[in-house]
Amino acid sequence: MAYLLGRSGWGLRVWAMRIEPIMPPDSKMMHEIRDMGADLGDPEGCTICHGGDPEADTPEAAHSGDFYPDPGSPWINENTCGQCHMEHIDVQWSSLMMTEAGKIQGVCWTFGGLQTAFGAESPYEHFFGNYDYKNPDDPAYRLGTDAYRTYMAKLKKLEPQVFVDEIHALPEAPTDPDEIAKNPEYAAFTYLRNQCLRCHHAVKGRQVRGDYRGMGCSSCHIPYSNEGYYEGNDKNVPHDEAGHMLVHSIQATREVVVKVHDVAYSGIPVETCTTCHDRGKRIGVSFQGLMETAYESPFTDDGGHQPALHTKHYLAMEQDVHYQKGMLCMDCHTSGDVHGDGFLACANLGAVEIECTDCHGTPDRYPWELPLGYGDEFDPSLAEGPPRGTTNQLPEHIKQATVYPAEDGFLLSARGNPLRNVVRRKNTVVVHTAAGNDLELKPLKAMVEEKLLSTAARTGMVAVGDHIAKMECYTCHAGWAPQCYGCHVRIDYSNGNTCFDWLGAGHRHASSPEHACERGEAGYPNTIPGKIEEQRSYLRWEDPILGVNGEQRITPVAPGCQPVITIIGPDGEPIMVNHLYRSPPGTEGGGPEGQATLDMSPLQPHTNTGRARPCESCHLSEKALGYGIDGGRTLRPWNEDVVVDLETADKQVLPKRYQVQRPRIEGLEADWSRIVDEEGNQLMTVGHHFSRSRALNNEERAAMDRRGVCLACHQEIPKGSFAVDLLHHVAEATGQMPKNADDHNDLVHKILLVAGWGQVAVMFMVPFVVVLAAGRWMFRRRKRRKTRSKK
């Protein structure tokens, strides 16, 4: 911190020796900071980031004036980080991690399209954000290439409710008991402000294990451990008090080396990202191979329970293949994904520009042979156009990061921006990771040409071309997906209950320079009426359901926000219990009553594996088709009370005094996992952000459904017909009966070939026999005529 300063050069150096430099001493950025500091009488450059008084004699005096404990705070970072990185500071308020407009729209949707009561044109409109924000008037202000700006203008026309021009600050949470009773749906604002919005970058957030971080730029660029303790060399920073950075260093790109004890690393660790990305779609913890569980087992070495992380407990699952290869989140996600580009994109799929095919290509085209927009169409038809090629040019704002040799050109994203760390090397792709690895991969086309694909991969991607054309790559390659079915939310306004308002804390930071970059929100008076409790119905991870996302590709879907709401009024009486809101009439295939606002969300699970999920997990699965786990039959109807007590054979409960064991949820007529019925009627929301996301339609389900395929053969085995019976006995007698899966597959393959060639033979033989018979008849007829003429 800046309290290293003294009036004399000797005093300055003594203080400077007590802390760690924010960057490696020989780095370009550290030299620039020191040069700037020297002009202010601060040769170590501490005041360049932290402000304060460089002429002070004591730490207390040095920390006076315009002193910034957290220079990354978005409320003041135009004065700190913005001295060198103003392009990113200018656009930070448009970032989805600042606006959280997607979360907010999701909760408003599940409370019945709440935003329409405040001026939104439809419940799909992303109307609210954490703070007011309006897009710039000039389209050229958007950070990116000209091709990117043109492409984003096209997406805005396709999905204007996501790529909006303006968002409005979220309304205050209700405080008046009469208002809560009159408009119980306004409890959504209590829920949002306490539970959903604590991760936005304008606050430091919840200070518990796994959630320690800075604000603004410091949220990502300053390392915090899960335990939250400082382990650096500055004796003036408490080492026994949670809530501090791990070391006083910036973490960023490959060139920025951070040292923790005797270990050096570069890049932004994945765990920094999962500080926030552990709820909702849970992509951060899933990438690491962590799946939330309701249990605290196994016990620790001292006999205690598994420690809570992000206030939850976890199973250790298979990690994403990119994680296993040593890649960090920042190696795929672009600057625009994270910092924003100055214009609003209010849902993940709208904000993220990277596609799998940007690096891997397709079986018949290298990445540079694909047109812009491939895989990111937001339209039923595939993108068309000239090959996107590569580029040797990088935008200026990207050059502040590590610049790698272009080789045969930087690859382009589907939206037209260069991928600064991904280059073409002849017909291979090199990914330069921030951690220091240079990963060379063969695109799919090269693997096809060199015959490197397995039989399963060749079948799935080449023989069945529709898989590539109509599906996301991760539809098959996601090994699992977190599925938390049913979100039971209770908002209790009785007994003076209160909870913390994280958005209110952000506004407090903005209220005065005094609060602009305080180290967290501890002690802030931003409490609101109400206490939030959340429960789940059940958790699963295997074989996620399939649906269609906003890009019009078949994708995994998992519970996004499936709340049923219970609200307890200030007087202690329930205002609503297990209430299921419905969308406006005519939306989501719901007819005049609207649709259940339980949302099954299309997602990229970030659990990719090199192997794909087996064909059977989709084509033979009622769950994958959307009919629910076990077709929705195993769990009893949720709209009925379940009583467990002594009863007669015809289910009459004998005691007069009993309790309902599992209370009903009115309106929930199907299981949480059942999104469509066999007639094609949609049963709940499938994606509430994009206009074309949906359940699989009748045609798609019919093409995919191969249930009962075993019966097609085995209904005739062993004695269904004379021919099959005979072959079965011969196989038994000669020891040719299939004994394992490989034998069975070989037999089916042989039957297919015999049947195929047999039918081809018949196709050719029938015309041949007909022609032969006709020729013979004509020959005999001509012969008879000749015989008669001779007579």
Task: Provide the pLDDT confidence category of residue 64 given band limits of 50, 70 and 90.
Answer: confident
Q: Residue 591: is it exposed, middle or buried by C-beta count within 10 angstroms (0-12/13-18/19+)? A: exposed
Instruction: Give the count of alpha carbons within 13 A of 657, CB side only.
Output: 0
12, pLDDT greater than 70: no
Q: CA 540 to CA 635: how far, in whole Å?
A: 14
Which three-class secondary structure state does DSSP give residue 545?
strand
DSSP, res 63: T
Let me know: does 112 contact 186? Beta carbons within 8 Å: no
Answer yes or no: is pLDDT of 1 > 70: no
How far apart CA 429 and CA 237 sit, in angstroms, is 45
Cα dist from 446 to 15, 365, 427, 541, whole Å = 58, 9, 7, 33
Q: What is the pLDDT of residue 98?
A: 96
* Residues 358-388 as b or e (16 or more Cβ within 10 Å = b): bbbbbbebbbbbbebbbbbbbeeeebeeeeb
- Structure confidence at residue 2 (pLDDT): 35
- Whole-angstrom Cα Rg for the chain: 32
Tokens for 346? Answer: 């209010």
Q: Assign residue 676 a region (left: φ > 0; alpha: ψ between -120 and 50; beta: otherwise).
A: beta
| Count of other CB atoms within 10 angstroms of residue 556 | 26
Angle between helices 28-38 and 82-91 (to 10 degrees): 110
Phi, psi angles (nearest 5°) of residue 778: -65, -40
> 44-53, 96-105, 628-637, 774-783: lowest mean pLDDT where?
774-783
Helix, strand or coil, per DSSP, at residue 176: coil
Which ranges constitute the DSSP H helices of 100-235?
101-110, 146-158, 177-182, 187-191, 218-221
For 59-65, what is the mean pLDDT? 83
In order of 90, 128, 334, the CA distances from 85 in angstroms are 9, 28, 16
Cα–Cα distance, 335 to 95 (Å, whole number): 11
- DSSP state for residue 460 in the 8-state scheme: I
pLDDT in tens, 247-276: 999 999 999 999 999 999 999 999 999 999
Please give the single-letter amino acid code of residue 521.
E
- How does DSSP classify residue 637? P
- Give pLDDT tens digits for 153-190: 999 999 999 999 999 999 999 999 899 999 999 999 99
| pLDDT over 90 at 501, yes or no | yes
* The pLDDT value given to residue 17: 47
Residue 695: which of 685, 709, 704, 705 has the closest Cα? 685
Residues forming beta bridges with residue 484, ordered by sequence position = 539
Q: Is the peptide bond between 767 and the residue preceding it cis, with omega within 30 degrees of 0? A: no
Residue 454, pLDDT score: 94
CA of residue 613 relative to chain centroid, distance: 19
Do you find a cis peptide bond into 298, omega within 30 degrees of 0?
yes
What's the rounded mean pLDDT across residues 398-419? 95
CA–CA separation, 319 vs 610, rounded Å? 11
- pLDDT bin (cut points 50, 70, 90) of residue 720 is confident
Nearest 10 degrees: CA dihedral of 565, 569, 572, 578? -10
Mean pLDDT of the 358-386 span: 95
As a whole number, mean pLDDT of residues 459-475 equals 94
Residues 448 and 445: their CA atoms lie apart, in Å, by 5
Transcribe 259-278 into DSSP letters.
EETTEEEES--HHHHHTTTT
Residue 737 confidence class, pLDDT cut points 50, 70, 90: confident
Output the six-digit token pair for 606: 């970030």
Residue 423 and residue 411 in contact, taking contact as beta carbons nearer than 8 Å = yes
The better pLDDT of the pair 423, 236 is held by: 423
Classify residue 685 by burial, with Cβ atoms within 10 Å: 0-12, 13-18, 19+.
Answer: buried
Neighbouring C-beta atoms of residue 585, cutoff 10 Å: 11
- pLDDT for position 180: 93
Average confidence (pLDDT) over 50-71: 86
* Partners of 531 in beta bridges: 492
Mean per-residue pLDDT, 91-95: 96
- Give the end-to-end CA distance of the chain in Å, rounded to a whole number: 127
pLDDT digits 0-9 by tens, 22-48: 998 888 899 999 999 998 888 889 999
By the 8 A CB rule, do 436 and 421 touch? no
How does residue 18 score in pLDDT terms, banded at 50, 70 and 90?
low
- From edge to edge, which strands make up the β-sheet containing 563-568? 531-540, 483-492, 563-568, 574-579
Q: Which positions ≥6 away from 125 have C-beta within 8 Å?
A: 105, 115, 161, 164
Q: What is the pLDDT of residues 281-330, one digit of tens each?
A: 999 999 999 999 999 999 999 999 999 999 999 999 999 999 999 999 99
- How many helices and strands in the chain, by DSSP H and E? 29, 25
- For 642, the 3-state DSSP assignment is strand
Q: For position 790, what pLDDT does the model report? A: 65
Average pLDDT of the segment spanning 531-550: 96
Percent helix / strand / coil, the chain, rounded to 5: 35, 15, 50
Task: Say if residue 10's pLDDT is above 60.
Answer: no
- Percent with pLDDT over 70 in the chain: 97
| Local structure of 356: helix, strand or coil | coil
Q: What contacts 61, CB < 8 A, 6 or more positions away?
A: 53
Mean pLDDT lowest for which of 1-10, 114-123, 272-281, 317-326? 1-10
Average pLDDT over residues 640-664: 96
The answer to whether 202 and 183 have CB atoms below 8 angstroms apart is no
| Mean pLDDT computed over 573-590 | 93
Residue 751 confidence (pLDDT): 84
Name the amino acid, one letter, at 230: Y
Looking at residue 6, its pLDDT comes to 36
Q: Where are the beta strands (DSSP E) in 467-584?
A: 483-492, 498-500, 527-529, 531-540, 545-548, 554-561, 563-568, 574-579
Residue for token digits 């049923």? 564
Strands 694-695 and 545-548: what pairing? antiparallel
List Cβ neighbours of 288 (8 Å cut-off, separation of 6 or more). Answer: 270, 271, 274, 319, 320, 323
Do the beta carbons of residue 549 and residue 602 sit within 8 Å? yes
Alpha carbon distance 210, 278 (integer Å) = 10
Asked if 416 contacts 151 with a C-beta cutoff of 8 angstroms, the reply is yes
Tokens in use for 372? 């812009």
| Calculated CA dihedral for residues 453, 456, 462, 468, nearest 10 degrees | -110
Closest-CA residue to 80 (of 107, 55, 47, 102): 47
Nearest to 529 by CA among 172, 265, 240, 217: 172
In whole angstroms, what is the distance from residue 408 CA to residue 420 CA? 13
Q: Give residue 13's pLDDT.
A: 42
User: What distance in Å separates the CA atoms of residue 530 and residue 537, rounded to the nearest whole number?
Assistant: 23
Considering the chain, what is the average pLDDT of its residues? 92
Mean pLDDT along residues 220-249: 94
| pLDDT band, residue 758 (cuts 50/70/90) | confident
Beta bridge mates, 685: 599
The amino acid at 754: V
**Torsion angle, CA of 256/259/264/268, rounded to 10 degrees?**
-50
Per residue, the 3-state secondary structure of 718-742, as one string, reads: CCCCHHHHHHHHHHHHHCCCCCCHH
Residue 40: what pLDDT?
86
Q: What is the DSSP string of 202-239?
A: TS----STT----STTHHHHS---SS----SS-TTS-S
